[in-house]
Amino acid sequence: MTEPRHDFGGMVRRARSRGQLVVQPRMGFADAATMRAGLVRTADVPAPTAGTITLDSYTRLGDYRAVLDVIARGGDLNGFPIVTENHAVTRAMTADLVGPDFQIQVRHGSAAPMDIVKAMTRADLYATEGGPVSYCLPYGRVPLAESIDHWRRACELLAATRGPDVEPHLETFGGCLLGQLCPPGLLVAVSVLEAMFFRDHGLRGVSLSYAQQTDHEQDVQAVNALRTLAAEYLPDVDWHIVLYTYMGVFPATRRGAIRLNRDAARLAARAGADRLIVKTSVEAHRIPTIDENVEALRGAADVAASSWDVAPTRPDDTTLAESRNLVQATLELSDDIGHALLLAVRRGLLDVPFCLHPDNAGRSSSTIDSAGRLVWASPGAMPLTATPGRHPELSSDRLLASLTHLSRRYDAHAPAA
């Protein structure tokens, strides 16, 4: 049986069968020619790669008039304007690149993704990412109920494109909530719940995300917990795990950034992730060039290839138990997982620390303990317990110190690269 030409999950599955990690940049350019050049260079990296089309921030917010105004003035956008661009241009930009060993994903950040999904599928692209919670709470003021409805319709639209040549794919961003200072149990739980939401609304190919945090061992245990729960709750879909290089404040020095990127690749290999979202050595300063993205992809692939022989740590009971409690508590609220997510957030059973969205309860708090691990100082109403020990009250100075904890550590201790 011939496999679909558009099958993001199938491409990752084939790389995994060869013992290889798929590496992927966070690349996005406004100009179609430059965007195509970036995709071509990504495909040419001598390692399994996935291409990325990251959209601009105006498109993410649905402000298409602003997109057109910037273009008319000859200004710069910070990504590709897929909705306002002629779909024939986008199709031509990618058409001859997609195949068994190279797939392209559209990345955006929108709580209302219908226009984006319509535009990408018209342009013959069928892989994207996000989620009703993960692309709502951190990014704006769209009510969660509206985001859930937007994402329900977007999932159903994307699922309807399935055919002999297309297996649509959707990645949950749930494992990256706010990027930092969110203990792993909540990240794992939201990632699993959003993947279940995708499955319930027609998707058969999904990926579950987790973002590198402050402690390597804790992260290995979290990825193992994510894999354990995905196997339990998603036995009927094709799923894989994607690890994000640290999403918080990045090291300001080149050597610190390179060391953090290398540790992310080691973590991906050691924890058995299937795909790695790679960052560059200039993340703290500006949007990276194509050359800088390619350099980072090559480096990550080389480090991962030399790290595969390290045996994964067994799942940590704390992270696995926390995430399982949160998943089960949410699912008990309703047979409709979208409604369950809404109730869980409103009641504080899922409560993202330091998140100011009006629908988030905001009663939980977290801290970095003396060992460098992310722990709960107060779980609010979540079915969890605070980590034993005294946690000083989180002043603005301590919050700033926590936010820059990893960047300061890598900048201070990184050897010359």
Which tokens in the block code for residue 77? 């956008």
Burial of 314 (0-12, 13-18, 19+ CB in 10 A): exposed
**Opening angle at CA 111, ends 109 and 116, nearest 5:** 70
Angle at which helices 254-271 and 290-305 cross, to 10°: 40
pLDDT the model gives residue 247: 87
SS3 state at 395: coil
Q: Is residue 321 in some structural domain?
A: no
Question: Counting beta carbons within 10 angstroms of the beta carbon of residue 417, is it exposed (0 to 12), middle (13 to 18) or buried (19 or more)?
Answer: middle
Domain count, the chain: 1
Distances from the Cα of 406 to the Cα of 26, 215, 360, 375, 410, angstroms = 20, 9, 26, 15, 6
- 218: nearest Cα among 185, 266, 176, 177: 185
User: What is the extent of the structural domain holding 186?
Assistant: 6-305
CATH number of the domain bearing residue 140: 3.20.20.240
Please list the pLDDT of the chain residue by residue as tens digits (417 residues).
578 999 999 999 999 999 999 999 999 999 999 999 999 999 999 999 999 999 999 999 999 999 999 999 999 999 999 999 999 999 999 989 999 999 999 999 999 999 999 999 999 999 999 999 999 998 778 999 999 999 999 999 999 999 999 999 999 999 998 767 899 999 999 999 999 999 999 999 999 999 999 999 999 999 999 999 999 999 999 999 999 998 887 888 889 888 989 999 999 999 999 999 999 988 878 889 999 999 999 999 999 998 865 555 555 578 999 999 999 999 999 999 999 999 999 999 999 999 999 999 999 999 888 888 999 999 999 999 876 655 555 666 666 777 777 678 877 865 554
Is residue 199 included in any domain, yes or no? yes
Of 238, 243, 234, the residue nearest 200 (C-alpha):
234
Residue 411 and residue 95: Cα distance in Å, rounded?
42
Does any domain span residue 224? yes
Would residue 67 count as lying in a domain?
A: yes
- Helix or strand holding residue 6 (H, E): strand 6-7
Is 223 domain-assigned?
yes
Contacts of 63 (CB under 8 A, 6+ apart): none
- The two beta strands, 169-172 and 127-130, are parallel
Tell me whether residue 359 is in a domain: no
In a domain, 366, yes or no: no
Does this model's pTM top 0.75? My answer is yes
In a domain, residue 196? The reply is: yes
Record the tokens describing residue 311, joined without a space.
């045996």
